[in-house]
Each structure stands twice: as structure tokens, then as C-alpha cells.
Structure 1
Amino acid sequence: MNILPDYILWKPTLTLCLICLCLFGCSTVPPTHYQVASEQGANGYSHIQLSENQYRVLFKGNKNTDKDEAKDFALLHAAELTTAQGYDWFTIVDSETDVETKGVTRVGPSTMKPVPGQTSCGLLGCATPSSPNYAGGEVTTKQVKENVLSSLLITMGKGEPKTPLTVFDAAQLAENLRQAN
């Protein structure tokens, strides 16, 4: 006969299941989608106006965001910003995409190996004392991807560009990138 209520017996099982769900649920973070950054330094797109028709456009993604996807999202925001400001096209003055990394250090398991001492013999026989010897674990450090940041310095324009091969048609580019993503 069980003297404990059934719910007490379920507590350890439920606790273990919840811990496993939390651990496995947190291990896979989806890549950053095309979204506005909620604050400065947050994941998503943002921009800074530098002059009347010049902006710095940024897209920051998490560790699971592909580098090329971050570049495309920065381009998409540049195109949308250009049309929203009443311009037809933009040119990229400068671009940069950085993958930020952080160092992760792991320490392997340590071992204890007995070290034999010197054998000594007496009236009752021989003895070989041994003492434990600590052998430390292997320490490794590797760089892992933390964030990806794509930055564009753009200049916007209206009408027919003087050098049409170096500009992006904002409306057409935005349409193409939305279809691709």
C-alpha cells in the first residue's frame, strides 16, 4: 500500500521533464528575422540620418543569422528607407559586414593517477606505497559566432542618376528582396 499521495510521486518526474524542455528549448535560437531593432544595439534593422540624403543603415542578427541574409536585410531596409524619404534610388558609398565572436573555454575532465613509490622490504614482507597524482584536464578555447552586423552608408537620389550602373532602383530592389526572403 502506498502511503504517499500520487502527486508527490509525479513531482520528480515532472521536474526532470521541465528541466529537459528548458535546456533543449533554449539551445536552438531562430535566426533574427527582418524586424525593426527595439532599441539601440538590439537585433533588427535601424538607421541614422547623416545629412539630408545620406544615411547609415544597420542590420544586426544573432548567432544563427546567415551573413548573406544580414546583408540582404540591410539592403532591404535601405531600399524601403529610400522610397519612404521620397527618393527613387540610392548608391552605396561604403559597406561593411562583421561577424562578432566570443571565446568559449572548456576544461576537460581531470584524472587521478597513482604514482608508485619505492619498494621497501622488512621482516613481514615488501610494500610499495603509492600516492595519487593529479593530472589536470585539457583546456581548450575556441571562437564562436555571437552576432553578425551589416552596415551600409548610402546616398539617395531622385530622377535619372548620372551613373546608372552604380545605383540601386529602390522600389525594384525592395520588391526583389521581399520575394527572395
Structure 2
Amino acid sequence: MTLSIKSLVVVAASALTLAACATSTAYAPAGFNGQRGGYAEQRLENDRYRVSFSGNSVTSREQVEMGLLLRAAELTRESGYDWFSTVNRATDRNTRYQSSGFNDPFFNRYSPFWGPSWRYYGPRGWSRWNDPFWGHNDFDVRQIDRYEATTEIIMGRGAKPSGDANAFDAREVIVNIGANVTRPM
């Protein structure tokens, strides 16, 4: 069987599209190349920013939190500071559920956990009878999580405060985390 060049191009484009859908959010500005997620920041004062990093459904919580810290460190260095301290740091999880295997589109849309059943009175009292055409109403439910981490940072010059557990040396963070994040291709 031979495939035309046009068919090969279509197959290759489809494979690349599917591969792009199955990769975690790259460390890049939010919306970069149409990706869902990424980093964003907002300047609040000269030495204070609000920073966020959000991932897609295949980006782990750890990757999102590393992206947040890396962006905070890079922003600190770009602004001429040496260290930053996080204030009000939080990671939120957005969970949704997706079901499959339930064949009726009406019931799938409005309630994937419902299926028709009837009750009848028999020799042992009331019994339940399921529709034989629906089988056993088998379906799978998949949990899909998306994470978003946010923080406010205060930046400073010189040595980081020694007693502050939320203070980070920006250079060290860039060196230690920079190689571990997924970069855009």
C-alpha cells in the first residue's frame, strides 16, 4: 500500500497535533503560541509583584509550583534584586470529571450516573429490573485536575534574610530549578 505525499502530510500534522495536546504546559508567558496556561505577573509596587503560573490537565502540581518559583526568581533578577520572599502563596486545584462508555447522549450530557430502571412486584416483593438493552450501564469516570499557583513577592538586595523560611536567593533558584522546567519547542 502506498500513501501519497498529501496523505503523509495529513498524518504527520495529525500526529503533531495529538502530541501537542498530551504535553505539559511549557514555561512561557500565559497564552504563548496558544497554549493553555503559563506564567503571568503584575507589578504592585517597585519591589513587589503578584506572580502566577497555571498548567493544563497533564501538568503536575510540582511542575506548576516550580514554574511559579522560577518566574519569581527571574523577575527578581530582571528587576535588579538579589532575593525575594513569598507572601500569601497558594496552589489551587480545579477538578472536573469526564465519563465515557454511557451510550445515550441525552443522559450522558445531563447525568452520566443515571440509567433507566424499573421496579416490579414479584414473589419476593419489589425488585429492580434494568433495561437489558443498556447492559449494566458500564462507564468509566476520569478525574482531570488543573493547578494554578499564585503568590505575591517582595524583592530585596544583598543577602536574603536568614530567618525567613519564605525567602529565596534568586540566583540559586534559577540554577536549581531552571533546568527542570519544560521549555517551549
What TM-score, normalized to structure 1? 0.64
Between Structure 1 and Structure 2, whose CA radius of gyration is higher?
1
Structure 1 gaps of 5+ residues are 1-6, 111-132
SS at match of 1:94: strand
**Cα shift at 1:171:** 1.3
Match of 1:52 in 2: 46
**Cα shift at 1:141:** 7.2
SS at match of 2:66: helix
Match of 1:69 among 63, 78, 96: 63
Q: Does 1:99 align with 2:93?
A: yes
**Cα shift at 1:25:** 5.7
**Cα shift at 1:164:** 4.4
Query: Structure 2: how far apart are the matches of 1:25 and 1:38?
Result: 17
**Cα shift at 1:178:** 1.5
Amino acid at match of 1:136: W
Amino acid at match of 1:159: G
Q: Does 1:30 align with 2:30?
A: no
Task: Give the alignment of 1:139-154 within 5 angstroms.
Answer: 142=141, 144-154=143-153
Query: Aligned residues: percent identity?
Result: 26
Q: Does 1:174 align with 2:174?
A: yes
Amino acid at match of 1:32: T
Q: 1:43 to 1:105 in 2, by over 3 A?
A: same
**Cα shift at 1:70:** 1.0
The structure that is strand-richer by fraction is 1
Q: Using CA pairs below 8 Å that are at least 6 residues apart, which structure has the higher relative contact order? A: 2
**Cα shift at 1:22:** 3.9
Moved over 6 A (4+): none
Match of 1:85 in 2: 79
SS at match of 2:73: helix
Q: 1:135 to 1:105 in 2, by over 3 A?
A: same
Amino acid at match of 2:29: V
Q: 1:106 to 1:151 in 2, by over 3 A?
A: same
SS at match of 1:87: coil
Q: 1:162 to 1:171 in 2, by over 3 A?
A: closer
Q: 1:103 to 1:179 in 2, by over 3 A?
A: closer
SS at match of 1:62: coil
What TM-score, normalized to structure 2? 0.63
Query: Structure 1: how far apart are the matches of 2:92 and 2:73?
Result: 21
Measured on the aligned residues, the alpha-carbon RMSD in Å equals 3.6
> Deviation per CA, 1:45-74, whole angstroms, max 9, x where unpaired?
111112222111111111111210110111
> Deviation per CA, 1:105-134, whole angstroms, max 9, x where unpaired?
334358xxxxxxxxxxxxxxxxxxxxxx65
Moved more, 157-166 or 79-88: 157-166
Query: How many residues end up aligned between the 2 structures?
Result: 148
Alpha carbons 2:73, 2:174 under 8 Å: kept = yes
Moved more, 101-110 or 171-180: 101-110
**Cα shift at 1:152:** 1.7
Q: Does 1:158 align with 2:157?
A: yes
